[in-house]
């Protein structure tokens, strides 16, 4: 593969631009590989603005890998609650254990060693190598992928195996050998602030003279869009079973979708269930009887489906013992500290804001 310009021209321009325009972010004040690893994992599916307070609180709570490994998974999930994509938190916790037991408490200092840990792919490993150890390892996160697609005018599917082969090659060729730390931050920043998904600011771009998409007038067409099939809709009911200011919840299994998070009793509804049970039947199956009222419904979008959730309030007499089903009773105050998954946190808010209920719970804001 030949390059349309000398590769060092990219690093020279980016490094000069970064001195003037680079962002000041909390994880840029450290070379601690654990902090950098944490920031990279948080930023995989979260914006910088949303990640910053979580990053700071997480490090206050688990200042070292040893602290993270020693913490119960529940408290790690709780520190992550609201960020979504909880497999990231579970993998961090699992990887911290491996670091303590197999790597004497130190994150590996090689690409291969880092990639052996759960949740660390080639790009994250490259970022840790460059940012913590100033070693020239390429990265290819979403921002960098977009910059390279445009810089080299890649006009095919940007997620294909063929694209991967080319993009990783270019990423490797362009990475500065002299200053991989600043180069990596610079190319991340360029993607985040200049070569943005919509309306890239080519007039302010340090790579404009080299950019093939700009030269060919195809900036707006790249990266090539994939036609996405519409997300399937899953319809469920959530029963917010309440007595004496307490709600019934249970924890999902540690592994799998939304693993380790808490939720109210749920049931499938509509055409997705083989025979769609009524809300009354769901309640009976739980061994409960109570007064039912529908509070509303909400839509929650996950990466692979949309959840259409019908929210019901169920007033029962006394705390029926159904702990054999792993259910437990928690007060409204306790629920505020429990890692409920996102859709059910919204469901609880719906119930608490319902004029019929808000007085009864004396919700403290
Ligand atoms: S010139 Fe425009 S399209 Fe090309 S890299 Fe810069 S911002 Fe992106």
DSSP per residue, 138-186: ----HHHHHHHHHHTT--S-TTSHHHHHHHHHHHHHHS-SS-HHHHHHH
Three-state secondary-structure class, residue 255: coil
| 40 carries an active-site annotation | yes
Angle between helix axes 73-80 and 87-102 (nearest 10 degrees) is 140
Q: State how far the Cα of 94 lies from the Cα of 68, in Å rounded to an integer.
A: 9
User: Is pLDDT at 340 greater than 70 in this prediction?
Assistant: yes
**Is the Cβ atom of 174 under 6 angstroms away from ligand 1?**
no
Is the distance from the beta carbon of residue 150 to the nearest atom of ligand 1 less than 6 Å? yes
Q: What is the pLDDT of residue 1?
A: 77
Mean pLDDT over 137-160 rounds to 96
For 10-40, give one letter per residue: b (16+ CB within 10 A) or e.
bbebbbebbeeebeebebeeeebbbbbbbbb
pLDDT of 363 reads 47
Contact 224, 158 (CB under 8 A): yes
214: Cβ below 6 Å to ligand 1?
Answer: yes
**50 versus 271: which is more confidently predicted?**
50
DSSP summary character for residue 238: E
pLDDT at 358: 61
Residue from 21, 143, 149, 150 to probe ligand 1 pocket by mutation (most atoms less than 8 Å from CB):
150
Please give the pLDDT value at position 276: 57
Domains contained in the chain, CATH given: 8-221 (1.10.340.30), 233-361 (3.90.79.10)
What is the average per-residue pLDDT within 267-281? 70
pLDDT tens-place string over residues 203-236: 999 999 999 999 999 999 999 987 778 999 999 9
Task: For residue range 179-201, list pLDDT tens digits in order.
Answer: 999 999 999 999 999 999 999 99
DSSP of 24-42, one letter per residue? --GGGG---HHHHHHHHHH
The pLDDT, as a whole number, for residue 260 is 85
Which of 70-79, 336-345, 351-360 is predicted least confidently?
A: 351-360
**Percent of the chain topping pLDDT 90:** 75
- Cα-to-centroid distance, 194 and ligand 1 (Å): 7
Judge if the upstream peptide bond of residue 223 is cis by omega within 30 degrees of 0: yes
* pLDDT value of position 201: 98
Q: What pLDDT, on the 0 to 100 scale, is given for residue 325?
A: 65
Query: Is 272 a residue whose pLDDT tops 70?
Result: no
**pLDDT score recorded for residue 62:** 98
Contact 295, 351 (CB under 8 A): yes
pLDDT for residue 362 is more than 80: no
What pLDDT band is residue 128 in, cutting at 50, 70 and 90? very high
Rounded to 5°, the CA angle 211-217-218 comes to 85
Of the residues 149, 200, 201, which should be mutated to test ligand 1's pocket, given the most ligand atoms within 8 Å of the CB? 200
Check if 147 has its Cβ closer than 6 Å to any atom of ligand 1: yes
How far, in Å, from the CA of 198 to the mean position of ligand 1? Answer: 11
pTM: 0.81
Q: Which residues are within 8 A (CB) of 178 and not within 5 positions of it... i.e. 6 or more apart?
A: 11
Are 239 and 279 in contact, with CB atoms under 8 Å apart? yes
Q: Which residue is listed with tokens 């019934």?
A: 248
Q: What are phi and psi of 243, to 5 degrees?
A: -150, 140
* Nearest by Cα to 343 from 81, 75, 50: 81
Q: What percent of the chain has pLDDT over 70?
A: 93
Entry field: residues in the chain = 365
Marked catalytic residue, from 8, 40, 172, 274: 40
Would you state the pLDDT for residue 359?
58
pLDDT of residue 274: 53
pLDDT of 360:
62
Ligand 1 atom nearest 205 alpha carbon: 6
Beta bridge partners of 102: none
Rounded to an integer, what distance in angstroms lies between the CA atom of residue 337 and that of residue 81?
Answer: 9
Maximum Cα interatomic distance, the chain, rounded to a whole number of Å: 76
CA of 134 to the centre of ligand 1 (A): 26
CB 249 within 8 Å of CB 327: yes
Say if residues 111 and 138 touch (Cβ distance below 8 Å): no
pLDDT of residue 277: 66
pLDDT at 253 over 80: yes
**Token reading at 326:** 């792993």
* Nearest-angstrom CA–CA distance, 360 and 351: 11
**pLDDT over 50 at 350, yes or no:** yes
Query: Residue 365 — very low, low, confident or very high, per pLDDT cuts 50/70/90?
Result: very low
- Closest ligand 1 atom to residue 207 Cα is 6
């Amino acid at each position: 593969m030949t390059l349309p310009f000398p590769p060092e021209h990219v690093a020279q321009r980016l490094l000069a631009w970064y001195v003037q325009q680079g962002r000041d972010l909390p994880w840029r004040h450290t070379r601690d590989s654990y902090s950098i690893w944490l920031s990279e994992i948080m930023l995989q599916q979260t914006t910088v603005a949303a990640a910053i307070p979580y990053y700071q609180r997480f490090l206050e709570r688990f200042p070292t890998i040893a602290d993270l490994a020693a913490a119960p998974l529940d408290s790690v999930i709780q520190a992550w609650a609201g960020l979504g994509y909880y497999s990231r938190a579970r993998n961090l916790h699992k990887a911290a254990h491996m670091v303590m037991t197999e790597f004497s408490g130190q994150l590996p200092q090689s690409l291969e060693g880092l990639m052996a840990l759960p949740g660390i792919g080639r790009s994250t490993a490259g970022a840790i190598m460059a940012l913590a150890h100033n070693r020239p390892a390429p990265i290819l996160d979403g921002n960098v992928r977009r910059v390279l697609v445009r810089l080299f005018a890649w006009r095919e599917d940007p997620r294909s195996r063929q694209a991967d082969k080319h993009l990783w090659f270019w990423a490797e060729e362009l990475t500065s050998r002299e200053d991989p730390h600043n180069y990596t931050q610079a190319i991340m920043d360029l993607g985040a602030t200049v070569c943005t998904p919509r309306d890239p600011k080519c007039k302010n771009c340090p790579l404009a003279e080299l950019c093939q998409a700009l030269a060919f007038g195809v900036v707006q067409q790249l990266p090539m869009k994939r036609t996405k099939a519409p997300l399937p809709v899953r319809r469920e009911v959530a029963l917010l079973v309440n007595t004496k200011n307490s709600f019934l919840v249970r924890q999902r299994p540690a592994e799998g979708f939304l693993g380790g998070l808490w939720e109210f009793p749920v049931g499938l509804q509509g055409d997705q269930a083989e025979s769609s049970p009524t809300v009354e039947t769901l309640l009976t199956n739980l061994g409960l009887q109570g007064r039912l009222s529908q509070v509303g419904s909400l839509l929650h979008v996950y990466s692979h489906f949309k959840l259409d959730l019908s929210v019901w309030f169920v007033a029962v007499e006394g705390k029926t013992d159904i702990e054999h089903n792993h259910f437990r009773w928690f007060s409204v105050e306790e629920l505020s500290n429990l890692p409920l998954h996102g859709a059910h946190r919204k469901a609880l808010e719906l119930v608490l804001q319902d004029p019929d209920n808000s007085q009864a719970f004396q919700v403290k804001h």
